[in-house]
Structure formats: C-alpha cells, structure tokens
Amino acid sequence: MANFLGESYMDIDDPEVHEDNDVDMIIESSSNKEDDKERNFWKGSTNAKPDKFEIEEGSLELLRVFYKRFFPYKTYCYWLNYSIDPMDKPFQNREFNFVKPGDDEVYMRYLSFDTIEEFKNEVLRVCPKKIDIGAVFTAKPKEKKSLKLSALKPVEKELIFDIDMNDYDEFRTCCSGATICEKCWQLIAVAIKILDSALREDFGFKYLLWVYSGRRGVHCWVCDERARKLSDDERKSIASYLGVIKGGAQQNKKVHLYKNSLHPSLTRAHKIIEEYFERVILEDQEVLKDEREWTKVLECIPDDGVRRRLDDDWRKNSSRHSTEKWDNLLAELESSTKMTKKADSLRVCKIEIMLQYLYPRLDEAVSTKMIHLLKSPFCVHPSTGRVCVPIIPEECENFNPMVVPTISSLYNEINDYDRSHVKNDGERSLHDYEKTSLSPYIKYFDKFVQSILKETLAKNKAAMQMSMEF
C-alpha cells in the first residue's frame, strides 16, 4: 500500500510519535527475541541447584581469560577504524555498549574510546557479558553529557542484517525454542547464501562479514564505504527490497508475487532454493508429514478446490512420503492452471511457497536505523558461552554451531596446551588463539580486515595523487 507520497519509503512521519528515534528502546527490541526460557550459561544446568556464588565466579573467570588471551583487540580496532594506527574518528566517535556481567541487565551506554589500549583496559576491567557496536557519531559518545542534545548525530555505520531462527519457528519442526541442530541450521545457511549473493550482485557490496550470533542466528556486517555512508531512508529501501516475507501471526500466506515475471533477484533466490528445498524443507522439516504442518502449506494456495482435493488425498494417504505429496501439489497446480481463471496466481504459487519457506526472514528494524546497536563479533553469547565467530558464506552449510568454541572449551584447550607443550629453540611463539580451535576464525577475520585496509589505503593513495596533480 503506497499512498500519494509513495509511502513505502517516504512515509508519513507522525510528528507525535518518535519511538523510532529512541535509542534506548532499540536495545529492547533486539534482545527481547530471547523471551523464552533458556539454559542460562551463568546459572549452569537447569536441573542442579549449584552454589550461585561459586558458579558465577567461575564463569566470570572464564570470561576474563577469554578477554585477556583470545580477543583480537588490534585487528578489531583496525577494522572499526578502517585504518591502522593511529585511531581516528571512525573509532573514537564510535558508540559501544557493554552489558555488565551478572544476572541483571545493566547497560553501560555511550561508551567510546580513544585508543586500542583504552578499549582493551576497559573490557578487561568490566568483563562485559555482551558488547554491542553502534554508529560513528559527530562527536565522542563518551562526552555525551557535556554536549548539546543535537550535537551527537550518527554519521556512518555498517549496513547490518539479522537473521534469527525465531522467525522460522512457525514451521520449524526439528527443534523448538532456543535449541538448534544441524537440520534447522540449514534454514539459516540457505538464507545466508541468498542474502550474500543479493548484496554482492544487486548492490555491488564487497566486504561482508557474516558472524554467528552465538546461539541460533547470524548477523551480517556490510563494511563497504558506500554502505557505511547510507542514510536511514536508503537503508530502509534496501531492507524493503530484500523483504519478501511479509506478515505476522495472523497472515498465513506471506509471499505475494503480483506479477508473472519474477524480479531477477528473486529468480536468483529461487534457483538457490531449488537446490535445497527437497532435502531441507520436505525431508528434514517434514512440512507435509502431518495435517497440522501441511495445512500451513495449503493455505498458501489461493484456490479452494485445489486445497480441498490435496487435503482429502493426503488425509487418506497420510503416510505417503513428503516428496511424493509435493509432487501431488505440483501436479494439482499444473492441471488447475489449465482450467480456472486464477491460472496466473496458481502458476506463481509454487514459487511463492518455496520462497515463503526458504527466503531469508529479516528483521527490517535492525537494518533501518544507523543508531541500532548490534552484538559485536567475537564477544560471547551470555546464554551459551559460545564465541560469536565469523562464518565463511561459501561454506555456511557446513558450519556446525554445536562445535563453535565456548569460553570454557577454550579455557580447557589453552590449559592443555600450556601443560603439555614444551617450546623448542627457534620455534616462533604462537599467539594464544593459534593454540586452540579459535585459530581459523581469527585468521579469517584478520584476512577480512586486511582486505578492507588495503582498499582504504589504495583509495587514500589515489585521492592524494589526484590532489597532487592539480
């Protein structure tokens, strides 16, 4: 629905409601996805009633070890600075948020740092159970109190995307709630493949950092300069372009393709989906196995007759294999297009269903505002203890969230190494991370940041040459 002003992007700003501009509220909306009961890493197993003090001390100690020995401070700060030393505006004017360790959600907002050393010291001092990254502002966020309200405005920020398993729960059958397994991980993997290719091929972005969120989702940080400089409106238009799944709990059919010709971006997405649909959706998630599940699929078909016939057929033959049922569905759609007036909508229905199940489900609110805070790469998920490590998009289907290092597994690994390893003469002393399973992730991050730095350097050189020529 677009009104005269083309409301989908230039929407009517209700001058009375500014909740979108409210920075404080934004945190709520992203962390509130974890509404459900979770195995709280800090409290240990849900069954045992441990001595609270002891366990918290233990966990805090593990976190401290992680931040002391493993967190890649230099590379991280170079990344956010988009340049090597010295730290400049992109880093110094960057907002950070620390969540203090402990049961209460105590936020330390509007933190900013002038040097890598300052950042590292504060991290070690506070030992945050979560770190969020915000935008680069017009001034140092830590000086907020002494500045005029209007003096602190966001200037640039990476373009970010958040894919959370939460949004797939309405049809996910292998797990529920906070649990995740190799089967449902594939839903995220397909989403990554589609989004990654769209961002690169449609928008021309090159520097994408995909990061595991620590439990059951991924974040994407688009670090190109062009992306960082996008305004809120431009981000909104991109999020809208990529938003294909529309509808809340009361909307059963969430994908509506109005034209017969598929936009090239969706054609690409559909091609990717075709490779995975049978295994992931029909076999692993078994969306046609039980009546409760297949009803959701049938509700996507805009023809009563087709729905009824399929429903009747499957009820009588409910043990039929899902792939065969899907073939039934395709056959019904095919034959009906020849008969009814709704030929067009039935023809496109197959694609709509496939998109509804496997197209990335994005939370638009995350991508739309520059000031939105997002969990930082390489921090630790407070519930699982897992490190938020980068994911290589080309290999995302092989990524196994179950084997991602946790702060306790890393602690054990480093202790084992230190105890058993004897250093030979002439042997280069390794960084701590190289002694553990964290190594490949850090190396990938290093390579990624290096490539960004190289480009920034090249650009600066070119700019300097230009100015010298005149």
Partner 1 sequence: MKLRDTMERNIRIFLIFIVCLLLKKLPLTNLKASLLIDYKALEGAILRNKSEDDVKKYLEETSNKWLPLHSNESSKAYLVQEERRKDHISHFILRLAYSRTEELRNWFLKYECALFKLRFLRENPTEKQAFLNDENMRWKSLNQAEKKLMKEELNACSIPITTDGEFCDLFEIDFEKVPDLVARRAVYLKEGKAYVPVTQQLSLVMYEFRQRLAKALELASKSFITLRNERIMPMLDEIIKQYDGRTQTSNYSVINNPIADNVHQLVDHFPLCMQHLYQNLCENHHLKHYARIQFNLFLKGIGLTVEESLAFWKKSFSKVDEDKFQRDYAYNIRHNYGVEGKRQDYKPLNCMSLITKHRPNSGEIHGCPFREFSQPNLKAKLVQMGVRNDEHIREILNLAEEEHYQVACTKYFEITKGLLDKNNDSIIIETIEHPNEYLNASVLLEKNRKKMSNKDK
Contact set for partner 1, span 331-360 (CB under 8 A): none
Query: From the list 45, 121, 176, 251, which residue makes contact with partner 1 (rule: CB under 8 A)?
Result: 251
Nearer to partner 1, 30 or 436 (CB): 30
Q: Is 413 in the site for partner 1 (CB under 8 A)?
A: no
Strand, coil or helix: 371: coil
Q: Is 167 in the site for partner 1 (CB under 8 A)?
A: yes
Least Å distance, CB 47 to partner 1, is 20
The number of angstroms, rounded, from the C-alpha of 64 to the middle of its chain's C-alpha atoms is 26
Nearer to partner 1, 7 or 275 (CB): 7
Judged by CB under 8 A, the stretch of 12-20, 63-71, 83-91, 427-435 that binds partner 1 is 12-20
Q: Is 246 in the site for partner 1 (CB under 8 A)?
A: yes
CA distance 359 to 356: 6
CA distance 259 to 225: 35
Q: Is 6 in the site for partner 1 (CB under 8 A)?
A: yes
The number of angstroms, rounded, from the C-alpha of 305 to the middle of its chain's C-alpha atoms is 40
Judged by CB under 8 A, the stretch of 43-51, 214-222, 275-283, 363-371 that binds partner 1 is 363-371
Nearer to partner 1, 128 or 405 (CB): 128
Q: Is 254 in the site for partner 1 (CB under 8 A)?
A: yes
Nearer to partner 1, 163 or 404 (CB): 163
Determine the Cα angle at 13 with ends 10 and 18, to 5°. 135
Q: Is 15 in the site for partner 1 (CB under 8 A)?
A: yes
Burial 351-388 (b: 16+ CB within 10 A, else e): bbbbbbbbbbbbbbebbbbbbbbbbbbbbbbbbbbbbb
Subset of residues 102 to 161 that bind partner 1, contact rule: CB under 8 A:
104-105
Least Å distance, CB 26 to partner 1, is 11
Residue 431's Cβ-count burial label (10 Å; 0-12, 13-18, 19+) is: middle
**164 carries an active-site annotation:** yes
Nearer to partner 1, 251 or 398 (CB): 251
Subset of residues 216 to 245 that bind partner 1, contact rule: CB under 8 A:
226, 230, 233-234, 236-238, 240-241, 245
Q: Is 365 in the site for partner 1 (CB under 8 A)?
A: yes
Q: Is the CB of residue 160 less than 8 Å from the CB of residue 221? A: yes
Q: Is the CB of residue 397 less than 8 Å from the CB of residue 189? A: yes
Strand, coil or helix: 174: coil
Residue 396's Cβ-count burial label (10 Å; 0-12, 13-18, 19+) is: buried
Subset of residues 298 to 337 that bind partner 1, contact rule: CB under 8 A:
299
Q: Is 16 in the site for partner 1 (CB under 8 A)?
A: yes
Q: Is the CB of residue 422 less than 8 Å from the CB of residue 54? A: no
By CB under 8 A, how many residues form the interface with partner 1? 72
Nearer to partner 1, 18 or 428 (CB): 18
Nearer to partner 1, 5 or 339 (CB): 5
Q: Is 52 in the site for partner 1 (CB under 8 A)?
A: no
Strand, coil or helix: 1: coil
CA distance 216 to 226: 29
Query: From the list 38, 55, 83, 203, which residue makes contact with partner 1 (rule: CB under 8 A)?
Result: 203
Q: Is 170 in the site for partner 1 (CB under 8 A)?
A: yes
Q: Closest by alpha carbon to 371, among 122, 93, 174?
A: 93
Among candidate residues 156, 158, 164, 284, the one labeled active-site is: 164
Tokens of 113: 């740092």
Helix (H) or strand (E) holding 366: helix 364-368
Nearer to partner 1, 90 or 302 (CB): 302
Least Å distance, CB 343 to partner 1, is 19
* Contacts for 395 with CB less than 8 Å, ≥ 6 apart: none
Q: Is 291 in the site for partner 1 (CB under 8 A)?
A: no
**95 carries an active-site annotation:** yes
* Residue written as token pair 């890649």: 72
Query: From the list 40, 75, 179, 252, which residue makes contact with partner 1 (rule: CB under 8 A)?
Result: 252
Tokens of 64: 């401290």
Catalytic residues: 95, 162, 164
